Structure 1
Amino acid sequence: MRYDVIVVGGGLAGLSSALKLSKNGKKVAVFEKHYMIGGYATNFKRKDKDGNLYVFDVALHGIGGLLPDNIFYNHMKGIDMIDKVEFLRKSETATIFSKNEEIDIPDDFEEYLNLLINKYKDCEEGIRELFYEINELKLELGSKKIPMIYQKLQNISLYDYLKSFNLDDELINEFSFLWLYYGLPPKKLNALYYILAWISYHIGGTFYVKGGAGKLSDTFVEEIKVNGGDIYLSSEIVKIDVKGKKVTAIHTKSGEEYRADEFIFACDPIHLTNLMSDDNKVVKSYKNKLENNDIGISLSQLYVGLDCKTTEVGITKGDYLINTADHEVSYESALKGDYSNTSYGITSYDILDPDLNKDVGVFVVVVADHIKNWPSYKSDEYKAKKEEVKEELLELVYRYFPDVKDHIKVVELGTPHTMKRYTNNSQGAVYGFEQNIKQGGFNRLSNKADFTNVYLAGSWTNPGGGFEGAITGGILTAERLLREEEIALDKLVKVTEENDDLVVPDMDINTFMVGMAANFDSKTVSKGEKILLEFIFDHNSKYYIQIKNKKARLLRENTEDKIDVTIKTSYKVWFNIAFCGLDGKGAMFDGKLVVLGNSNIFLKIPEYFSTSSLKKGPKSKDGSQKLEANNILKDETSKINILIWLTLTLLPWIVTDIISDYYINGSVIALGSVLYTSVLMLFIKPKRLKEVTKLEGLTLVTFAMYGLTYNLMSDIFKMEGKYMINIALILIFLISALIRKPITEDYAKEAYNKRMVKTNLFKNINIKLTLLWAGIFLIQFIIKVSIAGPLSNVSQFLAIIGLIISYYYPKLKLSEFS
């Protein structure tokens, strides 16, 4: 069977991307290896010896950002899910147990700010500055601005970021209380990832899904099916076919084959690439890229069912985070399997949703873990260790809630092997690749794979793990797929393993930058405005464009001015953004584009320099306007210089000028010129020049009038006939230059890259060339009038000079560099 898009992985990332695509008319199928949909977003049931039923939520502790007008709220609203599921507001984000102190962390921005200021009065200034910048980041993300704070945070640890506000270590430790759910302690954790989650919880509100995470996944499935999508459960993928740079088909364990135009891998890409043949160069290269990323830790989770409500044994809050040691020490203990000396979480599901378990109590204990701490799955050693760890984790619970001991009816432990078994995640990693300093934000694995028709969604790519991260990532991936279809790179460009799906620039970098500066629109800046842009291409080539006195000037080096915006990328990427419809935001998320400085100025670059080759396309059936890219293939090289065709078009004018003193039969000249021009247009010109040029059209009209004048107004012709052609030619070239429709443009545009033809630089060059020819024809006319006889024909040598100038002048201008 064939689909538009196949999604591999039925977790929240896969479900959200499938829903977004199905709502946009795509025929979508989701393949999930488990018999239940949802990945970590599922519920499971157990019964005790007396037949009492316990409903456990596999993983959900809280989900943020669901207050109106927050980014995640808008994402969920955009796929019509915000009203399909009931979300229960938590009374606090979490409760911290640390140093015999119990602290309720509010999910309200101002309340949390005041709590920290009242507790850490010596750090008030730094706390206020921190909260101000966090709020600025939230506003930045909700706007069309280039995310400058976002880029700043992606390259710094959470600890170093907080320390930059002169906060003391005790405050930093408290502020970082949720590190367990992001996989790394503050000194190793990417600041961006933590702060984004912090914003969701403390500005967007903290919620739990009524009915548990399984209810959320089931609702996604219902909506996907309503929109015509298919869901395949118990359908583990065991083989993936690849041809060149494209995935062509997937094969399930039951032996069925499914094909699609495009694929979304909403699960561990390491696992899926291992299902591909190593004979393919792209597969081998992508595997190497994936192997160079650090894989995050796993978790062990102890699920406990009680014969009473959790409140009756002292668990009165939905979420507890219990710090037995410093976060860095806790993390190291977890890596060694020393669970008694690590931080852990306790989540009570009958408090978060009283209706999920009405008569019994259900809670889960969570500790960071690593698969290397565990013997081989199902071995006797493994089974024995499970029993040991169960008791060890229960002892941790008894430290704070001793009454639990007498009410336990159900106990079940999930280990890193459990995580791996149900998801195929390498090492049982629940957070995908580590959210460390090197792998966060735009530096994270791109959601576009190295295969031309494969995208990624989920914890392994951007933005990362967690329920909100998975759903957001799934939607962003689907949006990118749709956007790249709509603003498609020219499908005629031959895809090779070298060009990474980007169009190879067909002009050198100097020419491009000269053209960009020359295409500056002075109306986009005010008088006195001064801007300096720095471009760093391929890590070493630097260019500067200075905007001053309503003019743009390209500089090779900056000697004095302050740089307003720095753009770091490869020339190929910038070329594709400028001309080929490559999405700049997507390039940033792929780590291919970095912007530093004033984001408002950067966003106005398309206004300053109009370089985009995109144009409005035809309206679709639903009336929406689509974008299409112009043909961006490099023009076929002309075997004959295009100036020869200009000369051939001018031939009737040149011949008439030479013979008009000796042979003045206007009918013959007119008829011969019209016939010659028609034959030239229809049979002689190459296919590239089949379009009628302005000069050809005017030649036909002028010589037709020439013949009519000869036959109908013979007296006027006898007096002025031999000058008529000269005057007409001068006026044609002069007027065309003055109205900015230069005659030479029609010929020159066939000799240059189609992107360069769209620039102001190209038009200005041809206006000057057209004026040059008007001047040449004027001088020839003056010589003809002043010098009688054959000597006047010497003026034809001026045309040779004009041709030489016309050939070299554009080349000199296009390589001009200040």
Structure 2
Amino acid sequence: MKYDVIIIGAGLSGLTAGIQLVKSGKKVCLLEKHKIPGGYATNFTRKGFNEKFYTFDSSIHTISGFNKNCSVYKTLDNLGILKNIEILENKQYTTIIKNSKETIDIPNNFEEFKIMLIKNFPNFSSNINSLFEFIKNLYEDMKDLILKSDAPKYQTELESISLYDFLKKYVDDENFIEIFSYLCSYLGLPPKDLNAFYYMVAISSFLLGGSYYIKGGSGHITKIMKNELEKHNANIHLSSEVIEIHSQNDKIISVTTKNKEVFEAYEFIFACDPNHIFSLIKNNTIINDYVNKLKFLEKSISASQLYIALDCSTKEVDINTSHLFINNLSHQDSYANIKAGNFENSNFELTAYDQMDCDLNKNGSFLCVSSADFITNWPERNTEMYKQKKEQISQLFLEKVLKFFPKIKQHIQVLEFATPRTMQRYTNNTNGSILGWAQNIQQGGFNRPSFKTPFSNAITIGAWSYPGGGFEGVISSSILGVNRILSKKENSNNIKNEILPLNVIMDGMVAKFNPANAVDKHIIYKFIFDGYNPIYLEIKDNTAKLLSAEPSHVDTTITTTHETWYKIAFNELSGQDALMDGLVSCSGNLRNFASMPKIFDKEIPDNFSSNETNNSSNEPNTSNSNDNNVSENNTKEIENTFTKELMPIKAIMNGMLAGFDSSKAEGLDIRYKFSFDNQKPVYLEIKNNTAKLLSREPSKIDTTIITTHETWHRIAFEGLDGEDALMDGLIKCEGNLKNFALMPTLFNTSEEEDNSTSPNLKLNPVIWVSLALVPWIFYWITHNIFSPSIVSAFSILYTTFFINFIKPKNFRSITKLESINLAAFSIYNLASFLNPVLFKNIISPFFLDIVLILTLFISAGTNSSVMSEYSKISFHPSVTKTKLFKIINRNLTLLWALVFAIRFILMLVIPSPLNNLSYLVIMLGIIISYFYPKSKLGH
């Protein structure tokens, strides 16, 4: 028997895909290696010491985004699943226990969580409100995502930035970020490594889509799904691990199971780990490039879990909520410790299932204690070392829980422990991964491996595909993937004969133009199809029309095939899928492409007919047409705030190198080519954790970046986002686009924004520091001549009025050094009145010198240089925001601390007047301070 579709893997994604297919009239076969379906969504039972049986949910702690407005709920309801299950809403707080004593209760409610954060961080109330407004907008955009064809509005904004960096834009407070990021424990990476898109979608779904659990455990929903499949005559083969996949050219032909059964189908869905599944395909070179790419992708964490059955409720052992996070370390430190196998010093999560479903166990309750883990921490299964370590870590987990809830000990009926080796055993997931590919900055959103495989009749779905792991993620993935197959199967037989002419397709688009969604838009599209003359379409003044001649400029160029555009135009293929699969390439302003589903969404009138003679767009063109230039018009779309003189390209690139973070370049080997205006190309190589400019063109270029001198300056030093520049057509990128996306991580040129500086005053900072130190110089010269009152009065008046009078307007504030001046001389004067004896013997000869020396040493040691405040008004902002500039100021501050310390010692040990030679040390310091920054900064 030959099936329409064979699905390998009967986890949640495979089961959901199967139901959708059988209800569309397809003959479906599911092959699963385990004896029960469900993957990680399963239940299991164990007998307790009291001879009673206890039910455990293997992995699902909670389900978010399951209210009736969400697309996952709507889809499962339409498939007939929800009528047979009961969904339990969890309204309890999530509790975080910090440092073994501090308790934080986090509401599972949008408004209450916001109020709680504002109460704890009142100084950031406005920014917290803005953050939560963003969450609400994101949720509205995402909640029906799998039911519509356009791309997520915020995906490109969030996918290539870490959660940590994204949150710092709103609230620059480490404690806030730790609390807000509490769901990181479920998502596999700490805030500095997790891409912001994945987390923000998860928490928006959790807060606005609700927190739920399925009555009877996750195994109950997989049981219902299995019954639904069998009711529609799907064949489900359990304990049928696939051991070989047979292919011919770009098609899968059949698969063989360990039972020696062979199954054939027209289409295949891999609802499992592609690393494993592609290892089963032999003698077909078509997979080589695909498999090689997989080798360089990061896999997600695994987990270790201790299952504890109790003969009482969890409330009887003082656990008063369903979810607890025991966080004695930051997310980042805990992750590092776990990676190193340090389980003693790591965070863990505890779930009390009876507080979500009180009927799951009639004989008592069960707890799940879970922690992130790595398979590298564990010896091979079935070895004595593995058994010993499993027993050791199991006891460690139990002891960590008993420290907080000691009453548990006398009620234990079952202890069951699972490791990453266990996860791998039952799922074949590489390294026992629980979330597929890691949701890091390089693998988030559009950068995540998607459905497409090297085979024309096979796709991947689930945690290893788009959008990612988790209950919502794998179900969304299965629906998006199956929609591809259904569209393809319904149209593949006739499309070659029935495909409409291009002018009819384009006329149809114009007929679908919706002016309500194009207010104030002025866009010119250029379409390049295989072997045809280019087609130009203009949107202006709330109308859309095809142009008969080439316009003077183009905003967005779309290159694809006649057949692909037919499918996109008539909703057989989403533009997002086509872009992700490389069926469409887009240059210029990518946002214009993303907005097309909304602009052209009107129903076509029944009496619509195409003007066959509209233009010559369906006449083949023998000449090649390319649009490789960065659009000049797009430059006008971003307000040009940079009107200052540009730094030379060489200086900009040196500034980039100064900000290179070698810790982010582990294992990278990349060569960039930069083409700026009409200037000579610049080549940059990253290799062996170093970055350097090359003097000649290398033999291989991985990524070419084409832009203008001005645009690159703004990206490097003026805060223009590189991704925005790419989407707005200010940059063209050829080769590996991911290398471009890596650059903000590799070259972190900017420190905190400082808008108080003036780039127009070019005085050397040594002069400014010398002016600030005039009170000390006056003291050294006159303290034996004038009274302390006169010395102090001069110093205070000079610092308060005179130096501020000569500063530029936007720098007329008291600096750190000037604040020390005021405080030190005020104490100096006060001491002369309060205790003349102490003043004469100790304070007068020593106090002010020691204060100055300590101030400079402390300033240099804490990287909060007093020099930087003066340096910033003497250099261009593009220089002052580099790490190199920060290092220079730290070294200068340390230099002057040493200069004044040496002078102080010489004044003490050398008698007067010879000790005045100590001022030569100061002169030497001035000379070094003048030339040192120039030698380091170059241009």
Query: TM-score if structure 1 supplies the norm length?
Result: 0.67
Which residue of 1 is the match for residue 576 of structure 2? 585
**1:532 and 2:526 are equivalent in the alignment:** no
**1:120 and 2:124 are equivalent in the alignment:** no
Instruction: Give the Å deviation of 1:18.
Output: 0.5
**Counterpart residue type for residue 578 of structure 2:** A
Deviation string, structure 1 residues 205-250 (Cα, Å, up to 9, x no partner) = 1111111111111010011111121111111111111111111111
Q: How do 1:219-368 and structure 2 match up within 5 A?
A: 219-277=224-282, 279-368=283-372
Q: How do 1:368-517 and structure 2 match up within 5 A?
A: 368-488=372-492
Q: Is the 8 Å Cα contact of residues 5 and 264 (structure 1) preserved in structure 2?
A: yes
Which residue of 2 is the match for residue 106 of structure 1? 107
Which residue of 2 is the match for residue 199 of structure 1? 204
Instruction: Give the Å deviation of 1:341.
Output: 1.6
Distance 1:441 1:414, change over 3 A: same
Deviation string, structure 1 residues 157-201 (Cα, Å, up to 9, x no partner) = 111121222342211111110112111111111111112221221
Which residue of 1 is the match for residue 840 of structure 2? none
Which residue of 2 is the match for residue 54 of structure 1? 54
Structure having greater relative contact order (Cα 8 Å, sep ≥ 6): 1
Which residue of 2 is the match for residue 133 of structure 1? 134
Q: Is the 8 Å Cα contact of residues 94 and 318 (structure 1) preserved in structure 2?
A: yes
Deviation string, structure 1 residues 89-108 (Cα, Å, up to 9, x no partner) = 11236221124232332222
Q: Is the 8 Å Cα contact of residues 512 and 601 (structure 2) preserved in structure 1?
A: no
Instruction: Give the Å deviation of 1:81.
Output: 1.6
Q: Is the 8 Å Cα contact of residues 509 and 569 (structure 2) preserved in structure 1?
A: no
Consecutive unaligned residues of structure 2, counting only runs of 5 or more, are 623-939
Which residue of 1 is the match for residue 2 of structure 2? 2
Structure 2: distance between partners of 1:522 and 1:259 = 42
Distance 1:413 1:7, change over 3 A: same
Instruction: Give the Å deviation of 1:63.
Output: 0.4
Distance 1:154 1:544, change over 3 A: farther
Distance 1:237 1:314, change over 3 A: same
Deviation string, structure 1 residues 742-767 (Cα, Å, up to 9, x no partner) = 7x99xx9997489xxxxxxxxxxxxx
Structure 2: distance between partners of 1:129 and 1:187 = 21
Which residue of 1 is the match for residue 81 of structure 2? 81
Which residue of 1 is the match for residue 13 of structure 2? 13
Deviation string, structure 1 residues 34-60 (Cα, Å, up to 9, x no partner) = 111111111111112331212111001
**Counterpart residue type for residue 75 of structure 1:** T
**Counterpart residue type for residue 109 of structure 2:** D
State the SS of the aligned residue for 2:81. Answer: coil
State the SS of the aligned residue for 2:252. Answer: strand
Distance 1:605 1:472, change over 3 A: closer
Instruction: Give the Å deviation of 1:536.
Output: 11
Deviation string, structure 1 residues 70-127 (Cα, Å, up to 9, x no partner) = 2221122121222221111112362211242323322222222222122211111221
The count of corresponding residues between Structure 1 and Structure 2 is 600
Which residue of 1 is the match for residue 812 of structure 2? none
Q: Is the 8 Å Cα contact of residues 459 and 469 (structure 1) preserved in structure 2?
A: yes
Distance 1:107 1:325, change over 3 A: same
**1:32 and 2:36 are equivalent in the alignment:** no
**Counterpart residue type for residue 374 of structure 1:** W
**Counterpart residue type for residue 531 of structure 1:** H
State the SS of the aligned residue for 1:240. Answer: strand
Which residue of 2 is the match for residue 723 of structure 1? none
Q: Is the 8 Å Cα contact of residues 512 and 600 (structure 2) preserved in structure 1?
A: no
State the SS of the aligned residue for 1:481. Answer: helix
Structure 1: distance between partners of 2:513 and 2:478 = 41
Structure 1: distance between partners of 2:65 and 2:206 = 6
State the SS of the aligned residue for 2:280. Answer: coil
Aligned identity (percent) is 37
Q: Is the 8 Å Cα contact of residues 87 and 210 (structure 1) preserved in structure 2?
A: yes
Q: Is the 8 Å Cα contact of residues 536 and 546 (structure 2) preserved in structure 1?
A: no
Deviation string, structure 1 residues 672-702 (Cα, Å, up to 9, x no partner) = xxxxxxxxxxxxxxxxxxxxxxxxxxxxxxx
State the SS of the aligned residue for 2:18. Answer: helix
Structure 2: distance between partners of 1:477 and 1:394 = 42
Structure 2: distance between partners of 1:177 and 1:740 = 59
Instruction: Give the Å deviation of 1:61.
Output: 0.4
Which residue of 2 is the match for residue 603 of structure 1? 597
Which residue of 2 is the match for residue 189 of structure 1? 194
Instruction: Give the Å deviation of 1:203.
Output: 0.8
Q: Is the 8 Å Cα contact of residues 515 and 599 (structure 2) preserved in structure 1?
A: no
Structure 1, 130-139 or 266-275: larger mean CA deviation: 130-139
Q: CA RMSD in A?
A: 3.7
Instruction: Give the Å deviation of 1:29.
Output: 1.3
State the SS of the aligned residue for 2:83. Answer: coil
Instruction: Give the Å deviation of 1:605.
Output: 5.5
State the SS of the aligned residue for 1:83. Answer: helix
Distance 1:191 1:321, change over 3 A: same
Instruction: Give the Å deviation of 1:437.
Output: 1.3
State the SS of the aligned residue for 1:46. Answer: strand
Consecutive unaligned residues of structure 1, counting only runs of 5 or more, are 494-502, 617-738, 755-818
Structure 1, 13-22 or 591-600: larger mean CA deviation: 591-600
Deviation string, structure 1 residues 514-542 (Cα, Å, up to 9, x no partner) = x979996798669996502467999xxx9
Distance 1:296 1:543, change over 3 A: farther
Distance 1:34 1:157, change over 3 A: same
Q: Is the 8 Å Cα contact of residues 19 and 223 (structure 1) preserved in structure 2?
A: yes
Query: TM-score if structure 2 supplies the norm length?
Result: 0.59
Distance 1:481 1:517, change over 3 A: closer
Structure 1: distance between partners of 2:91 and 2:235 = 38
**Counterpart residue type for residue 242 of structure 2:** I
Q: How do 1:733-772 and structure 2 match up within 5 A?
A: 752=620
Structure 2: distance between partners of 1:217 and 1:44 = 13
**Counterpart residue type for residue 212 of structure 2:** F
Structure 2: distance between partners of 1:166 and 1:221 = 47
Instruction: Give the Å deviation of 1:413.
Output: 1.1
Distance 1:568 1:344, change over 3 A: farther
Instruction: Give the Å deviation of 1:25.
Output: 0.9
Deviation string, structure 1 residues 352-378 (Cα, Å, up to 9, x no partner) = 211111222311111111011111111
Which residue of 2 is the match for residue 652 of structure 1? none
**1:150 and 2:146 are equivalent in the alignment:** no
Q: Is the 8 Å Cα contact of residues 268 and 457 (structure 2) preserved in structure 1?
A: yes
Q: How do 1:767-786 and structure 2 match up within 5 A?
A: none
Distance 1:95 1:228, change over 3 A: same
Q: Is the 8 Å Cα contact of residues 12 and 39 (structure 2) preserved in structure 1?
A: yes
Higher CA-based Rg: 1
**Counterpart residue type for residue 433 of structure 2:** A
Q: Is the 8 Å Cα contact of residues 94 and 104 (structure 1) preserved in structure 2?
A: yes
Distance 1:536 1:105, change over 3 A: farther
Structure 1: distance between partners of 2:169 and 2:611 = 57
State the SS of the aligned residue for 2:462. Answer: coil
State the SS of the aligned residue for 1:187. Answer: coil
Instruction: Give the Å deviation of 1:569.
Output: 6.9
